[in-house]
Amino acid sequence: MNFTSDLFLIYPEIVLTATLIVVVLFDLIFKRSQAWLPVLSLAGILAAFFLVVLQFGTNLPAFEYSTKNNLLSIDNLSTYFKGIILISSFFVVLFSIFSSEVKSCKDRHGEYYSLLIGMMIGMFFLVSSNDLILIYLSMELLSLSSYVLAGFVKNSIRNSEASLKYVIYGSVSSGIMLFGISLLYGLTGTTNLNEINTILRGASTIDITFILSIFMILAGFGFKISVVPFHFWTPDVYEGAPITITAYLSVASKAAGFAVLIRFIKAVFFSGISQGGYWNLLTYFDWQSVLVLISIVTMTLGNFSALWQDNLKRMLAYSSIAHAGYILLGVAVLSDQGITAVLIYFAIYMFMNLGAFLIVMLIANKIGSENIDDYKGLGYSIPFLGSVLAIFLVSLTGLPPTAGFIAKLYLFIALVDAKMIVVAIIALLNTVVSLYYYIRVLKNMYLVRDFSKPVHIELKPLSFITILLLVIPVLLFGVYFTPIVDFAKLSIQILGL
Amino acid sequence: MTNFPLLSLITFLPILGMIVVLLLPKKQEIAIKSLTIVITALQVVLAIILLMNYNYSLGGINDIKSFQFIEKFRWIEITGFSWIGKIKIDYFLGVDGLSMPMVLLTAIVTFIAAISSWTIDKSIKGYFAMFLLLDTGMMGVFVALDFFLFYVFWELMLLPMYFLIGIWGGPRREYAAIKFFLYTLLGSVLILLVMIGLYFSSMETLADGSRVFTFNMLEMMNPANYTVGGILSPLNPNNLRFIAYLGLFIGFAIKIPMFPFHTWLPDAHVEAPTAISVILAGVLLKMGTYGILRISYPIFPEITKDLTWYIALFGMINIIYGAFCAMAQKDFKKLIAYSSVSHMGYVLLGMAALNTMGISGAILQMFNHGTITAMLFLIVGVIYDRAHIRDLDSFGGLGKQMPVYTGFVTVAFFAAIGLPGLSGFISEALVFLGGFGNDITRVLAVVSTLGILLGAGYMLWTLQRVFLGPLNEKWASLKDMDFREYAMLVPLSIIIIFLGIYPGPMLNLMNSSVNTMIEFIEKAQTFYQTLGTL
């Protein structure tokens, strides 16, 4: 194992760690100039992004202690997800600049940004780790940082409630996962995904404990991507956490969870690839049935619960549960086409979901509420923000000509190609249900002509540019999606498979 | 002239108008309204230019060479690995005898609706922006020949329509708007699923000889293009073509609206402002039947043939059920809405006959119903603007008070009943002739003639209740029509009377396409039969 020669493969991680240290030190030394903290973080993110872009196309194992026995896999799949994580981090840092919730915590901005970067480092290792121990460690790094961030605004009760719930659910599920990992280690004698695969291929019989361990590990992943039955924390945490963190959890942390799930399934169970890009998996675990079941229940529950929500943040929480269900269907296809659909979905979901949260935050900054009833007549008093929010919500519903349609289209193409017609029909009917609660916001904004409380929001140039950066891709990818699909197709590559 | 992108212009001109409307300051109400009228008038001019350059002898339907004003280029092309994410989508527009009448209808009805929108008094900028967006969506549906493009236009209409009903509608507008949206979205997801299924079932051969999956409708119609394993390919013994046909049919039937999917229509109509009712009944309903003729019929000819009796049955139910419902209404607008349900039944019946008379009658009925119902809704709008109620029983004797208005009402009502000399008669007669001419649909057609009787019943009864008898003194101050109302009703009356006396131009327009379609369905039928015996 040659430690130093592989360091160049984790330059982005090193840059982020350096940024973390700089942020902490800067906060200690220049206590008064907190306004520079987001700038430093953005600089670190951009530098890391540059390195990640350079890394695209690299397909190398890092920190190998014997052949095919690596800790990290630097491949296109991980690089793609790192890109997603960095872009959403970039936006979330920008959001934090505008957020009055974050502003209200004077003198603690150093903590905020350093924890945010801590989450990024955790996610970076999570998306590329090829070893169960590293998966567990990076997941804990991610979780611990996010527990604190969820309760960052200490003065609000629901904030502390969110944080506490998150910690309890999080530690239980990671405990279960760790137990699963130890069972799997007991059965196979290794924690490396590729080695487990080799051992499984040679195995003649499979113990029931093995199935159990996989389910337990799935609990950990399920918690991160918030699918049924590990979703209970999501609405409360999303509602209670500062909006910036809610937005971040719903996109970046979910992306990291999906990345590791995809890698785990493919690396541990892979036995070959058949014509059409379908994976032949080892038959010890019926992934397809399990994932399809989970995703259908998840999307149905998410959509139907969202119908009853009056708090927009909570509604978006349920909507993100539903979206996790759709995305999981892409994984459930267990083919390269399905993974392509997942990657496309994430890129588009990132823009539309972050955008929706940003507008909700800007409005909440002013009116101090996320209640849908308080949105009455907003379409007339703040026409620009209103119409942009409308675009994001229409895109989340998945109607053309917005990008959300393309995301759904590719998902359904993958499903139909795999002849999973019934599943596709259920997912489509779910889309119809989801229209009702997304359109409810538009109904309040436009159909209810309530001019009793005129709201006036003055947009700063920076927030205006941020909105444009989010809304333009949503519209552009809706009518011209070649680049995003081309890029996603190149990114399904997993090292060694 | 042939190289000029006329169809793109007629489709996207309203979008340009929308951008200008959005840039105009809010206070410029007159400018916004006039601009919309100018844009829609330009559309009529473009439609007439299209008509003048139209070659009547070309059939269209499944043959790209006989489509006219074709615009085709690659819109989306994703290459790379052979099996993943590969998609080719064309920007493909063209018209034939099936879409040309619909393009004309859309241009005319939208223009009339734009004039009718002059009385809109709240959020004018938003209204006309949405109106123009809707216009692009409608026109696009009728000229798109790529299924993906068709679907994008189809969905593009939903949101503006939701807002137009929901913001500018009547008291129960929110309910009506969301009901419309949910129903139509349910229909469109079914269409989407079939679209994806069809995509994987036929391959087009490109110029370089390579074969790729295609969204091109014309390639989907070609039996030679079917893939072996596609789920909607007849070559696959386990294909799901029948289920897909039903899904697609329901998707379109919701829009028609066909019984039992019609319940959104009365609500939407009653709540929508007059101009939007005109567009809804005049154009949007036609998209359902147009979709069936353009997509379901030629892509699934063998199933179409098997199901003609059922299509005719639902046509008959629509005709009679709609007429009975109309008869029971007290609200003038709801009565017209149900009469639309009844009249769209004729279109279904004509389509089911699968012969020249029947299909010509169906297309002609689509056009005629568009103009007649537009006129009927305008008529309701005229009286509602003055009296602010639509309750049929509270009027009476308006004939004395508003003689000119009553004259127009009589023309529209008699056209709707199908009086000879007015356009409704020709199309209904053709539909029935077609229905009688086909052994399968004969009995149903005979029963359906009852609809004419019922139609005469509710129309004449309405005429009597509202316009005849002693004048209700409450309405003694009502004024007769003004210039704007003349501008809307006169052109429609002229079209109705002209096509009633001399339907030749319209029938010639669609004739070769209708024959091509029937011939194609017959031929394809033989192909599928030989396939069945393999």
**How does pLDDT run across A115-160, given as a tens digit for each residue?**
999 999 999 999 999 999 999 999 999 999 999 998 888 777 888 8
Which of A471, A326, A330 shows the shortest CA–CA distance to A403? Answer: A471
Confirm or reject contact between B240 and chain A (CB < 8 A): yes
**How does pLDDT run across A59-104, given as a tens digit for each residue?**
888 887 777 788 888 899 999 999 999 999 999 999 999 888 888 8
Q: Which of B74, B84, B180 to mutate to test the interface with A (most CBs of A within 10 A)?
A: B84
Q: What does the pLDDT read at residue B534?
A: 47
Residue numbers in A near B156 (CB within 8 A): 400-401
B151 vs A400, A448, A449: nearest CB: A400
User: Is B1 domain-assigned?
Assistant: no
| Position with higher pLDDT, B18 vs A451 | B18
B193 and A425 within 8 Å at the Cβ level: the answer is yes
How many C-beta atoms lie closer than 10 Å to residue A168's C-beta? 12
A243 is written with which tokens?
């909006």
Q: What does the pLDDT read at residue B82?
A: 54
B193 vs A277, A400, A412: nearest CB: A412
Q: What is the mean pLDDT of chain B?
A: 88
Residue numbers in A near B182 (CB within 8 A): 432, 435-436
B192 and A449 within 8 Å at the Cβ level: the answer is no
Per the listing, tokens 């008669």 go with: B425
Asked if B184 and A442 touch (Cβ cutoff 8 Å), the reply is: no
B167 and A446 within 8 Å at the Cβ level: the answer is yes
Question: What integer is the mean pLDDT of A247-257?
Answer: 93
Q: What does the pLDDT read at residue A485?
A: 86
A127 is written with which tokens?
């998306």
A276 and B167 within 8 Å at the Cβ level: the answer is no
Asked if B490 and B414 touch (Cβ cutoff 8 Å), the reply is: no
**If contacts are CB pairs under 8 Å, which of residues 64-123 in chain B contact chain A?**
75-78, 80-81, 83-85, 87, 122-123
ipTM comes to 0.90
| Position with higher pLDDT, B1 vs A368 | A368
Asked if B77 and B236 touch (Cβ cutoff 8 Å), the reply is: no
**If contacts are CB pairs under 8 Å, which of residues 15-54 in chain A contact chain B?**
none
Question: What integer is the mean pLDDT of A102-113?
Answer: 85
Q: What does the pLDDT read at residue A102?
A: 83
What does pLDDT average to in each consecutive run of 10 residues of chain B (534 residues)? 79 92 87 92 93 86 84 79 67 90 94 91 88 93 93 92 89 90 91 90 78 85 81 80 92 91 91 92 92 91 88 93 92 91 93 91 93 92 86 82 88 90 91 90 90 91 86 80 88 92 90 90 79 56
Given CA atoms A416, A421, A425, A427 in this order, what sign does their dihedral have?
negative
Domain with B245 in it? 6-533
Size of interface A-B (CB pairs under 8 A): 109
Q: How far is CA B258 from CA A19, B320, B514, in A?
A: 64, 12, 23
Residue numbers in B near A394 (CB within 8 A): 159
Confirm or reject contact between A233 and chain B (CB < 8 A): no
Task: List, in sequence order, every residue forming a beta bridge with B68; answer none if it has no partner.
Answer: B95
Residue numbers in B near A340 (CB within 8 A): 84-85
Confirm or reject contact between A488 and chain B (CB < 8 A): yes
Q: What does the pLDDT read at residue B107?
A: 94
- The total number of structural domains that make up chain B: 1
| Position with higher pLDDT, A306 vs A455 | A306
B196 vs A336, A412, A486: nearest CB: A412
Q: Which of B185, B199, B271 to mutate to test the interface with A (most CBs of A within 10 A)?
A: B185
Q: Which of A340, A389, A397, A399 to mutate to test the interface with B (most CBs of B within 10 A)?
A: A399
**Chain A nearest CA to B504, separation (Å):** 39
**How does pLDDT run across A204-231, given as a tens digit for each residue?**
778 889 999 999 999 999 999 999 888 8
Q: Which residues contact B365 (CB under 8 A, 6 or more apart)?
A: B343, B346, B347, B350, B424, B427, B428, B430, B431
User: Is B240 domain-assigned?
Assistant: yes
Confirm or reject contact between B162 and chain A (CB < 8 A): yes
Q: Which residues contact B297 (CB under 8 A, 6 or more apart)?
A: B304, B351, B517, B521
Per the listing, tokens 């941020």 go with: A466
Confirm or reject contact between B300 and chain A (CB < 8 A): no
Q: What does the pLDDT read at residue B1?
A: 46
B185 vs A277, A432, A449: nearest CB: A432
Contacts 24+ apart (CB under 8 A), B160-164: B160/B130, B160/B131, B160/B133, B160/B134, B161/B134, B161/B276, B161/B280, B161/B284, B162/A439, B163/A446, B163/A447, B163/B126, B163/B130, B164/B127, B164/B130, B164/B131, B164/B134, B164/B272, B164/B273, B164/B276
Three-class DSSP category at B478: coil
Q: How far is CA B100 from CA B105, B485, B519, in A?
A: 9, 27, 20
